[in-house]
Chain A
Amino acid sequence: MAVEAPPKPTLADKIYDRLFHNYVWKSIFRTGYPNTPRNQMLIVATNVFLHLHPTRIHRTHVKITHTYCLGGLSFFMFLGLTVTGILLMFYYVPSVERAYLDIQNITTTVQFGQLMRNMHRWMAHAMVILVFLHMMRVFYTGAYKPPREFNWVVGVILLVLTFLLSFTGYLLPWDQLAFWAITVGSEIAGSAPVLGPKTRFWMLGGFEVGPNALIRFYTLHVIGLPLLAAIFMAVHFWRIRRDGGLARPL
């Protein structure tokens, strides 16, 4: 039987061709549209953001009821907090004279300021909860067994970093809630048997929660701890790929 001639290109096809098969577009997106298995694998393997993933994954691992996307959501919360955090940073100065007024300014005068602040706070709570749930998921699916033991340790480090990020951020509004919560928290730290008072002094930059504490916590919160967290996240994600992906049933 003779092969049918291909249908003549319609106007839509010609426009598509002009838009997406031209030189400029193809210099940016070098694989074709991922609607063939080849392109679908290529785009995951060659895109800098997507190549975090393998090109193929065990079918039990795409089921939502296996992972509930908790790890990915924790990372997503981290990204969202970074974005809202940067936006908030435009309007906030970490000095005891300005901090509270800046927060009031953000929540009243700045356009979408209230929304950004709310998003930042609820995403912070959400990240702590999601990280904890992720830890529970990894435990109950036994995904800490060899060769993944050290990745679990890295995960615990990330958990502690998440708590610390939340703790340092808590002080920044410089209202009564923030001030006294951090006072209580630093008292707990200061009650350590031998190094307690010194640790507390180092943490607060003084004997009381004051201007030194504010700038210290601010610096840790916006750059120190996020950088550490990013480094450990890099190790954490890399190790998952290195260990052959998520833990598979036997």
Chain B
Amino acid sequence: MEWANLPHDFAEPLELVIVAISITAMLGILVLFGQWWQK
């Protein structure tokens, strides 16, 4: 299950962008959980 090992022209900026998107997504999941659990 790997698709990394892109030509590293793209890999470095992409790595950062994907990590940033993941963090935003995870924080978003937390916020949604908070809205559901903490009425």
Residues of A within 8 A of B (CB): 62-65, 68-69, 122, 125-126, 129-130, 177
What total of chain B residues lie within 8 Å of the partner, measured CB to CB?
Answer: 14
Complex contacts, A177 vs chain B, CB 8 Å: 8, 12
Residues of B within 8 A of A (CB): 8, 12, 15-16, 19-20, 22-23, 27, 30-31, 33-34, 38
Q: Is the CB of A69 within 8 A of B23?
A: no
Complex contacts, B19 vs chain A, CB 8 Å: 122, 125-126, 129
Q: Is the CB of B38 within 8 A of A129?
A: no
Q: Is the interface of A mostly helix, strand, loop or mixed?
A: helix
Complex contacts, A65 vs chain B, CB 8 Å: 31, 34
Considering the chains assembled together, what is the distance between the CA atoms of A62 and B33 in angstroms?
13
Q: In the complex, which residue of chain A has the Cβ closest to the Cβ of B4?
A: A118
Complex contacts, A62 vs chain B, CB 8 Å: 38
Complex contacts, A69 vs chain B, CB 8 Å: 30
Complex contacts, A129 vs chain B, CB 8 Å: 19-20, 23
| Listed residue (A68, A125, A177) with the most chain B CB atoms within 10 angstroms of its CB | A125
Considering the chains assembled together, what is the distance between the CA atoms of A129 and B24 in angstroms?
10
Task: Give the Cβ gap from B9 to chain A, nearest Cβ, in Å.
Answer: 12
Q: Give which listed residue, B12, B23, B27, B34, contacts A63 with CB less than 8 A.
A: B34
Considering the chains assembled together, what is the distance between the CA atoms of A217 and B11 in angstroms?
25
Q: Is the CB of B33 within 8 A of A64?
A: yes
Q: Is the CB of A64 within 8 A of B16?
A: no
Task: Give the Cβ gap from B35 to chain A, nearest Cβ, in Å.
Answer: 8
Task: Give the Cβ gap from B24 to chain A, nearest Cβ, in Å.
Answer: 9
Complex contacts, B31 vs chain A, CB 8 Å: 64-65, 68
Q: Is the CB of B30 within 8 A of A125?
A: no
Considering the chains assembled together, what is the distance between the CA atoms of A177 and B13 in angstroms?
13
Q: In the complex, which residue of chain B has the Cβ closest to the Cβ of A124?
A: B19
Complex contacts, B8 vs chain A, CB 8 Å: 177
Task: Give the Cβ gap from B29 to chain A, nearest Cβ, in Å.
Answer: 10
Q: In the complex, which residue of chain B has the Cβ closest to the Cβ of A123?
A: B19
Considering the chains assembled together, what is the distance between the CA atoms of A129 and B22 in angstroms?
11
Considering the chains assembled together, what is the distance between the CA atoms of A65 and B27 in angstroms?
10
17 A-B residue pairs with Cβ-Cβ distance under 8 Å, sorted by A, are A62-B38, A63-B34, A63-B38, A64-B30, A64-B33, A64-B38, A65-B34, A68-B27, A68-B31, A125-B15, A125-B16, A125-B19, A126-B19, A126-B23, A129-B19, A129-B20, A177-B8
